[in-house]
Amino acid sequence: METDLNEAQKQVVLAPKGPILVVAGAGTGKTKTLVHRLAHLVKNGTNPESILLLTFTRRAAKEMLGRASQILDHRMMSVRGGTFHSFCHLFLRKYANALSLDSHFTILDEEDTIGFVGMARDQVVTTGTKVRFPKKETLAEIFSSCFNLQVSLEKYLQKEYPMFLGITKEIQEIKTKFSDLKLKHNSLDFDDLLDFTRKLLMSDESIRERMSSVYEYILVDEYQDTNRIQAHIACLLASKHQNILVVGDDAQCIYGFRGASVHNMLDFPKIFPNTNTIQLTKNYRSVQPILNLANAVLEKSSENYKKNLVSAFPKNSKNPYLVQLPSLEEEAEWTSNQILELYEEGITLSEMAVLFRAGFSSHLLEVQLNSKKIPYRKYGGRRFFDLAHVKDMIAYLKIIENPKDILSWNRILLLEDQIGKKYSILLFKKLESNQFQWKDDEHFFLGLPETTKDSFLKLMHCLDSVSPVIHSTQQILERILAYYFPLLESNYDDAEKRKQDLDALVLLSKQEPKLSDYLSNLILNPVEGKEIGTSNEVEDEFLTLSTIHSAKGLEWKYVFTLQVVEGNLPHSRIRTTDELEEERRLFYVAITRAKEALFLTNPAFNDKNRFTPVSRFLSDLPKENQLLQFLDPKNAQSPKEIPKDGQKEPSNETFQNIQNYFLN
């Protein structure tokens, strides 16, 4: 059964009882190893129902157990596999009474949770409230983030929503009422499932021991993605017998914003001093030059498990390419052209991907792909033209170009604080009946409240101040943006993040000074389904655009990573060493998605026309020129094709050790 495993993988599969930490580098077959470990346990007499497999998706657990069944037999489907939340749900159904909870509680989905937050908000925010409060959706996100990050409300607001710091006390009151409402109505949200499970496992030794007798082995996949609460639960379940195996890659811990902590992996041997640490370093995905770059980037990390990935493919390959370009616009154009060239050489679109740090980084490229009829799907951030604030801006431009556009009028009128649906309809009818003239009609404002009139006049003065005949598209956009930004801030709680998306609209306007041409270029020829090549191509073939976060766990032959520059990767908002190290790991993930060729683009100037030096993750490398080859975009040619710890006696104070680590 273990004949197709390498030596390190066999060590994991055949390891004796006790705590095991598997440090699995990118592409080293960690799922295969975990599957064989499961099959080995059952084959050697372990009751499959006494094995608990914790994963991050239900599909991952089902797939692993299915593969294990193919190795052994149907007994593997009796292994208790699932997500942390599904385990906690079943656990609380059985033991809720120990926490004075009714075991018939309702589980709140995201929409239900937001509804409860809204009810709590309405108890605090009344019609007479003079201060702006976050919307219920934003409050729900704030409360969940505070729990998963294990930070105070004030600290989280200070970092993510400083505009609401002045009402911290009131938001805390909403949070308290939200918790009270859930308990009153016997309802738990996803965070409560984790919270109450941990509380019960901490406080009740008899239940903790009972769970140890039910689950003889605990296995956790993607351990680097656990937050402190999830890791604490897993360790508590194993506190008596210590038969816990965790698999993960500290170098791929990139979800710190969700609460994932790299220290769950780094400090695992501190919690279980007799940990058997095994490294998987043989890579079955990428050619060696790509791995050489990944190894060099990781080598600079201040805190990690030192490992050196070695490719299973001995063939000679070219080093990753660093492509230096003058601007973001030329980066988008070069990337789209290169994708077309590769396609013409026989590389399918599904074998290529474009990765980026944040969703807005692909906006200029999306326009280029649309114009070239290249079908794509975007993951991790909505498509540029689906963004609400982009649609808002385009609506203003459409009205300037065509005052009869009823849908655009309706959209921008409803953005105004003092114009609701009723007066939006009324105002459009008045404009329409007056041939979209309003200044010379003394009866125009009859029947309208003074506040509605003031909002409308302010809007009309802005629209009247620009002309597609006199002003360039860029001038029009800059004036409309100045008017729109206060509305953006009042309509969207995350206005600062959305402003970055709108910068792309201004950049695009430089190429199309005439408004009608600009709008046509934006709106015409949307890419839907198969629009490139012949009818013989694969029906669902498309190019992948993805944030690096959403690309983790995936792979492509050819990978383009955009804007590998200071201020983007690493991001300009980083303030601490921990944040910098997570950015480094993010870059490592991007590199290790590529199987055969990797292109890193370096635009010299950003959207503010400021110089952007190449990322420190590249400039700090000691032998940069030996790891990368520089590609001149004007003459670019497409490319062708830890030692094992010694065993120690188990500690009799494991539970206290776990508590000291997670609670101090």
Return binding residues: 24-31
Amino acid identity of 215? Y
Q: Report d(CA 538, CA 343) in Å as an integer.
A: 13
- 42 close to 76: Cβ distance less than 8 angstroms: yes
Helix (H) or strand (E) holding 556: strand 556-561
Q: Report d(CA 125, CA 117) in Å as an integer.
A: 12
CA torsion 322→328→334→337, rounded to 10°? 140
**CA proximity to 639, closest of 296, 325, 351:** 351
Region of 190 on the Ramachandran plot (φ > 0 left; ψ -120 to 50 alpha; else beta): alpha
Backbone angles phi, psi at 99, to 5 degrees: -110, 15
Q: What tokens does 353 get?
A: 């991907």
Annotated binding site for ATP: 24-31
Q: What tokens does 57 get?
A: 């998706």
Hunting for tokens 């020129």 — which residue is that?
625
168-184 vs 153-160: helix crossing angle, rounded to 10: 120
Q: What tokens does 351 get?
A: 């074998």
CA distances from 504 to 184, 395, 638 (A): 48, 16, 28
Q: What angle do CA 57, 61, 67 make, to 5 degrees?
A: 140
Q: What angle do CA 140, 141, 147 make, to 5 degrees?
A: 95
Q: Report d(CA 426, CA 414) in Å as an integer.
A: 12
SS3 call for 122 = helix
List, in sequence order, every beta strand (DSSP E) within 275-417: 276-280, 282-283, 310-311, 321-327, 352-356, 376-379
* Burial annotation 469-501 (CB, 10 A radius, 16+ → b, else e): eebbbbebbebbbebbeebbbebbbebeebbeb
Count other C-beta atoms under 10 Å from residue 622's C-beta.
9
Q: What tokens does 576 get?
A: 């601490």
With helix as H, strand as E and coil as C, how does 230-251 read?
HHHHHHHHCCCCCCEEEEECHH
Q: What tokens does 401 get?
A: 């170009």
First-to-final CA distance of the chain: 44
Count other C-beta atoms under 10 Å from residue 641's C-beta.
11
Rg (CA), the chain: 28
Q: What tokens does 245 get?
A: 């195996």
Hunting for tokens 């698999």 — which residue is that?
247
